[in-house]
Chain A
Amino acid sequence: MDMYFTKEHEWVKIKEGTAAVGITEYAAHQLGDVTFVELPQAGKTVKQFDTLAGIESVKAASDIYAPVSGKVTEVNEALNDRPEIVNEAPEDAGWIAWIEMADTAELAQLMNREQYDEYVRGLE
């Protein structure tokens, strides 16, 4: 699956016009122990870079932004009981939601893995 990244440290994996969304390993590490994820409502429509979800760690509370516009089709209910999955597997089992993409052209606004890694190196 193609994978893209935002400057706010969300990732998106594309599969047949639908996008899985989560936060990157870098973001999960920076947050520390995740204690709560405020999941979006399935059916909700979001615009690219608007707030999609909320995430809290022992240290801080942050917003998670939608990397792409579209309709939320599924959310990761497992995070309600075990938000620590975000720390354990941020770019896999710790996914937040699936979004039915409204406009695949928006992907041009995102970074690929190589660009994102370079971007993170610049932050350190």
Chain B
Amino acid sequence: MDLLKNTPLVEEHCRRNALMAPFGGWNMPIQYEGIIAEHRWCREKAALFDICHMGEFLFTGDIVAGGLEDVFTFSVASIPVGRSRYGFLLNEQGGIIDDLIVFRLAEDEAMVVVNAATIDNDFAVINSRLTGGTFRNISAETGKLDLQGPLAREVLTTLVPGIAGLPYFKFVKTTLLGAEAMVSRTGYTGELGYEVFLPAGKTVELWSRLLADERVKPAGLGARDVLRLEVGYSLYGSDIDETTTPLEAGLAAFVNFDKPFVGRDALLRQQTEGIRRAKVAFQVGSRRSPRHHYEICFEGRAVGTVTSGVFSPMLGCGIGIGFVTPEVAVVGAPLTIRHDRVSMDATAVELPFYRGGSLRA
């Protein structure tokens, strides 16, 4: 039996009576005072998330000669130093092994940030595709806290003045609490926010320092899931996985066909032949929540499956995404979401569901 792993903050979570649950092999906080209250706090103030479970790998060497350039669906070599890029690690069939972000730390250095449940497999796959350089899994020694919300900048500039003018998807290396750290203007909530990478041994101190500010409250994975779905972000393991291609998932914008990568041929074939299923986003006509695995129906016949669904506090109704036969994935299509005796009317809509976030502030 695999034992659940704890982040350095486990005692802090328990002290705050967080509801803890397994997530990707980790013992993680789902909620503190309540998912909706934490969601609201993130949309209005600044919410702090323990993201230490996610994985970090460090590549050092020549990006092109070492083979890192050809590993992902995007070009690493063309990322300017100090910026990051989102994309995919694919299998030969074009299926998504993981979605991830690469941070270009220096001309000869890049950090890859991956999902928690996929750390070991990602490392093995990427490592097997490299032809040079050094590649290290630095997940255990790296802590990560996300501060997200319209007040995140005001709060964090008191500790890191250098982030004041930081644009979206740009980061700075800095000294934080006497240690080397990296602060990136990225996140997963649709709000203005930062991801702070620092030595694992410093996370408790930063957590406490940020929570001493009354504008900051902790938020769990429950709120994070509602926040990310409201802005239409995919969740690995639910919405995308090795059986899903970026084209099916509506994420072709993160694939650069002008460069080599594993899975490219399969995606080009899929482009020519057409996709067999497509992502659809839909809004329910009531407060009911669609749930993972509920059936999506069109004109009385089953056409697909829900992969994520929640009640959206911002919209006051159920929202969800799923996969359907391509002809049905059309904005405005009337759908029915079904499970056992539950049936709810829904309409296919454009993403994001919620557009009022402070992301670009």
Binding site for B on A (CB under 8 A): 32-33, 35-36, 38, 54, 56, 58-59, 61, 83
* Residues B342 and A61 in contact, CB atoms below 8 Å apart: yes
A56 to B286, CA, bound (A): 12
**Chain B contacts of A36 at CB under 8 A?**
286-289, 311
The answer to whether the Cβ of B338 comes within 8 Å of any Cβ in the partner chain is no
- The majority secondary structure among interface residues of chain A is strand
23 A–B contacts from the bound complex (CB under 8 Å): A32-B34, A32-B35, A33-B34, A33-B35, A33-B37, A35-B36, A36-B287, A36-B288, A36-B289, A36-B311, A38-B288, A56-B287, A56-B311, A58-B36, A58-B226, A58-B289, A58-B311, A59-B30, A59-B35, A61-B289, A61-B291, A61-B342, A83-B287
**Chain A contacts of B291 at CB under 8 A?**
61
A35 to B316, CA, bound (A): 9
Mark out the residues of chain B between 9 and 56 whose CB falls within 8 Å of any chain A CB in the assembled complex. 30-31, 34-37
The answer to whether the Cβ of B102 comes within 8 Å of any Cβ in the partner chain is no
Min CB–CB distance A11 → chain B (angstroms): 22
Q: Which residue in chain B gives the minimum CB-CB distance to A35?
A: B311
**Chain A contacts of B34 at CB under 8 A?**
32-33
Contact mask for chain B residues 216-233; partner A; CB cutoff 8 A; 1 contact, 0 none: 000000100010000000
**Chain B contacts of A35 at CB under 8 A?**
36, 287, 289, 311
- The majority secondary structure among interface residues of chain B is mixed
* Residues A56 and B288 in contact, CB atoms below 8 Å apart: yes
10 A-B pairs closest in CB distance: A35-B311, A36-B287, A33-B36, A58-B35, A36-B288, A33-B34, A56-B289, A33-B35, A35-B287, A58-B311
Q: Which residue in chain A gives the minimum CB-CB distance to B226?
A: A58
Min CB–CB distance B110 → chain A (angstroms): 37
**Chain A contacts of B226 at CB under 8 A?**
58
The answer to whether the Cβ of B310 comes within 8 Å of any Cβ in the partner chain is yes
Min CB–CB distance A81 → chain B (angstroms): 9
**Chain B contacts of A61 at CB under 8 A?**
289, 291, 342
* Residues B289 and A32 in contact, CB atoms below 8 Å apart: no
Mark out the residues of chain B between 268 and 304 whose CB falls within 8 Å of any chain A CB in the assembled complex. 286-289, 291
Output the residue of B37, B286, B288 with the most chain A CB within 10 A.
B288
* Residues A59 and B311 in contact, CB atoms below 8 Å apart: no
Contact mask for chain B residues 137-165; partner A; CB cutoff 8 A; 1 contact, 0 none: 00000000000000000000000000000
* Residues A59 and B288 in contact, CB atoms below 8 Å apart: no
A83 to B310, CA, bound (A): 15
**Chain A contacts of B311 at CB under 8 A?**
35-36, 56, 58
**Chain A contacts of B31 at CB under 8 A?**
32
**Chain B contacts of A59 at CB under 8 A?**
30, 35, 222
Mark out the residues of chain B between 152 and 209 whose CB falls within 8 Å of any chain A CB in the assembled complex. none
A59 to B311, CA, bound (A): 9
Q: Which residue in chain B gives the minimum CB-CB distance to A87?
A: B34
Q: Which residue in chain A gives the minimum CB-CB distance to B30?
A: A59
Output the residue of B37, B222, B289, B342 with the most chain A CB within 10 A.
B289
Min CB–CB distance A40 → chain B (angstroms): 13
A109 to B30, CA, bound (A): 36
A116 to B31, CA, bound (A): 26
**Chain B contacts of A58 at CB under 8 A?**
35-36, 222, 226, 289, 310-311
* Residues A54 and B342 in contact, CB atoms below 8 Å apart: yes
**Chain B contacts of A83 at CB under 8 A?**
287
A83 to B286, CA, bound (A): 12
**Chain B contacts of A38 at CB under 8 A?**
288
A85 to B36, CA, bound (A): 14
Min CB–CB distance B25 → chain A (angstroms): 20
